[in-house]
């Protein structure tokens, strides 16, 4: 099993629908992140969590919410999906010791029609 698992891998949804992207990790890391990637661009930070009780907005949090259900689980929700939220979404975790590396999930490709 992958260290960081994202579900679903692909999703097509309609405008206005609520959708949840899930992320789970087996690495025991406290820090988890959600990023969004638009075609041809770098990843942008949506939300991040340094532990279960510490959740922070990133660069582009509008239209998104998150839930940290446990150390291992960090979910991203689109309350009312819109077409410009069509993107590749990545979840990541960060090591607690040197070199504090980041591990990424395989990504969720979301299309809003």
Partner 1 sequence: AQKITQTQPGMFVQEKEAVTLDCTYDTSDQSYGLFWYKQPSSGEMIFLIYQGSYDEQNATEGRYSLNFQKARKSANLVISASQLGDSAMYFCAPSLGGKLIFGQGTELSVKP
Interface residues with partner 1 (CB under 8 A) are 31, 33, 35, 40-45, 48, 50, 58-59, 88, 90, 92, 94, 98-104, 106-107, 109
CB of 28 to partner 1, least distance (A): 17
Residue 42 or residue 70: which is nearer to partner 1 going by CB? 42
Residue 41 or residue 70: which is nearer to partner 1 going by CB? 41
**Phi, psi at 85, each rounded to 5°:** -95, 5
Q: Are 32 and 74 in contact (CB under 8 A)?
A: yes
Residue 11 or residue 44: which is nearer to partner 1 going by CB? 44
The C-alpha angle with vertex 81 and arms to 75 and 83, in degrees rounded to 5, equals 125
CB of 104 to partner 1, least distance (A): 4
Residue 51 or residue 79: which is nearer to partner 1 going by CB? 51
CB of 107 to partner 1, least distance (A): 5
CB of 84 to partner 1, least distance (A): 18
CB within 8 Å of 99: residues ≥ 6 apart: none
């Amino acid at each position: 099993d992958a260290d960081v698992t994202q579900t679903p891998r692909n999703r097509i949804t309609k405008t206005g629908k609520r959708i949840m992207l899930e992320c789970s990790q087996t690495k025991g890391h406290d820090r988890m992140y959600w990023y969004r990637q638009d075609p041809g661009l770098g990843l942008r930070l949506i939300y991040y969590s340094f532990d279960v009780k510490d959740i922070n907005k990133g660069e582009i949090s509008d239209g998104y919410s998150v839930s940290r259900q446990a150390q291992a689980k960090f979910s991203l929700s689109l309350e009312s999906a819109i077409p410009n939220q069509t993107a590749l979404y990545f979840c990541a975790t960060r090591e607690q010791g040197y070199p504090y590396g980041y591990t990424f999930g395989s990504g969720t490709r979301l299309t809003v029609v």
